[in-house]
A and B are shown apart, each in its own frame.
Chain A
Amino acid sequence: MMNFNFNVSELIFILPELFLLSAISFILLFDLFVSEKYKKYSYHLSQLALIITGFLAFNLIGESATIFSGTFVLDNLGSTFKVFVLGFSVIALVYSRQYLIVHELLRNEYFILALMSILE
């Protein structure tokens, strides 16, 4: 049997993931409750979430740890890849938005789905 140990101090190593997950939840709720006028800001919030997550991931470069009973590893490769994923995603969302506006496909779920695929 696997032996599951959990230490709260390990959470610092998944800070980028935790932040992105919280941000996704927040944007979902934001989209649900704000009036039509402010819905366009979901895009800006998504971009902001990506940039902050990228910054958090960048801060973890140099750290290395294997946490959650060996199911999750933090190393230079992982952190650097994450920074690139988030950076390229920011560029991709800038281009995407224009396409979605032009073809009347703009729905906020698009950004939520993109953020979720980036998180997982």
Chain B
Amino acid sequence: MMVMISGHSLLTLYLGLEIMSLSLYALIATARDRAFAIEAALKYFVLGAIASGLLLYGMSMIYGITGGLDIAQISNFASSSTLESQETLILNFGLVFLVIGVAFKLGAVPFHMWVPDVYQGSPTSVTMFLSTVPKIAAVALLVRLLIDGLGNFQQYWADLFMILAVLSIAVGSLVALTQVNIKRMLAYSTISHVGFVLLGFMTGVLEGYGSAVFYVLAYILMSLAAFGSIIALNRNGFEADQVSDFKGLSKHSPWFALIMLVVMLSMAGVPPFIGFYSKLFILQQVISEGYVILAVVAVIFAVISAYYYLQVIKTMYFDESDKEIIVSAPIDLKVVLSLNGILILIIGLMPSFWMNLSVSLF
């Protein structure tokens, strides 16, 4: 991810993406005696290869027309005022494939088909890793390729992002409603969060980019805490991956139940947690750029998605447990998980510092 974040040439960006993905495929397959994990690894590998192919196709198109791999050279070419209509057409063609590659890595609809299966099949520790840290690298890839490289074509990729964002938010929110497996539910929730991130980038203004970065960081913090809580419920031979496994958690372990409550409320976008402000900043930018209907649609689906987050809370606090719950986490996990939960609240109480930091990056 570090090479990818600093890539300034199509070559280094692609190299970083491929080698990172290879390590991730192997990481999923470390649980080699679980059929589901191997299936997930293969599925991720095959679909990842297709996405890399599409991305490479787009890159070859861009390289063909600009004659360079350097992002600065591409940017110079794309911003020159003497572009012929054919050159614009080919750049646009390449651009579409770049957007597809980035959308696949982020897991935006309609390139999301790998997300639920891979999240469910992977060992929970790998799911947590996959759903969090590589998202930063994917955002960096987006920034390098589309904002640094093809910033002059913002109006073209913004339209694509708008479609991806609305579809992601809608599919992510609606399909998650019927999930009983919490890893699968979080996978669909990731898809809907990615929709919000793309909305931020769609606006095309620095504040919009900044709020999208803030959203990604906030999402990762929440996702880490959610998976951390799931892992804390795991014990010998017992995989806590159903929503029903959280039944009666509040009686057995009120502190962990409270952390999960904070995470779920934050993901649903309830103030004063970080998830509320990240959504608020994105919607502010979307509205100030004049996309009021988009903002209304996003809010409606955010309200729909609150149902399945609240369902987890209801399961923890109001359902009686039919089996014994033992939370036998070691002290380091307890401390880090508690800090993680507290951070979600604290950053939510003073979001402006982080928001200013995110905007200053562009």
Contacts and interface: CB of A to CB of B under 8 A. Distances in A.
Interface stretch (A4-12, A25-33, A100-108): A100-108
A35 B133 CA distance: 32
Contacts of B19: 116-117, 120
B2 A85 contact: yes
Interface in B206-250: 217, 220-221, 224, 227-228, 231-232, 234-237, 239
B5 A120 contact: no
Interface string A71-105: 11110111011101100110110111111101101
Contacts of A73: 6-8, 71
Contacts of B11: 71
Among B8, B16, B31, which residue has the most Cβ atoms of chain A within 10 A? B8
Interface string B326-347: 0001101100110010000000
A84 B135 CA distance: 11
B1 to A, nearest CB: 5
A105 B27 CA distance: 11
Given A77-B140, A114-B27, A96 B6 contact: no
Contacts of A94: 332-333, 336
A100 B11 CA distance: 35
Among A57, A102, A118, which residue has the most Cβ atoms of chain B within 10 A? A102
Contacts, number: 158
Contacts of B234: 98-99, 102-103
Among A17, A85, A100, which residue has the most Cβ atoms of chain B within 10 A? A85
B124 interface: yes
Contacts of A114: 23, 27, 129
B126 to A, nearest CB: 8
Interface string A32-43: 000000000000
A105 B31 contact: yes
B70 A70 contact: yes
Contacts of A116: 19, 23
**Overall SS of chain B's interface:** helix
A16 B4 CA distance: 14
Contacts of B217: 84
A117 B231 CA distance: 22
B193 to A, nearest CB: 15
A78 B333 contact: no
B30 A117 contact: no
Interface string B259-272: 00000000000000
B8 A118 contact: no
A80 B231 contact: no
Interface in A34-74: 57, 66, 70-74
Contacts of B221: 88
B227 A102 contact: no
A95 B128 contact: yes
B20 interface: yes
B134 to A, nearest CB: 7
A91 B227 CA distance: 11
Contacts of B47: none
Contacts of B136: 81, 84-85, 88
A118 B361 contact: no
Contacts of A100: 123, 125
B95 to A, nearest CB: 21
B124 A71 contact: no
Q: Which 5 A-B pairs have the closest CB atoms?
A: A117-B23, A73-B8, A96-B125, A120-B19, A99-B125
6 contacts: A73-B7, A76-B360, A85-B2, A88-B133, A92-B125, A98-B232
Given A17-B3, A78-B6, A113-B30, 8 more contacts: A70-B72, A84-B220, A95-B333, A105-B31, A110-B27, A116-B19, A116-B23, A120-B3
Interface of A: 14, 16-17, 20, 57, 66, 70-74, 76-78, 80-82, 84-85, 88-89, 91-92, 94-100, 102-103, 105, 107, 109-110, 113-114, 116-120
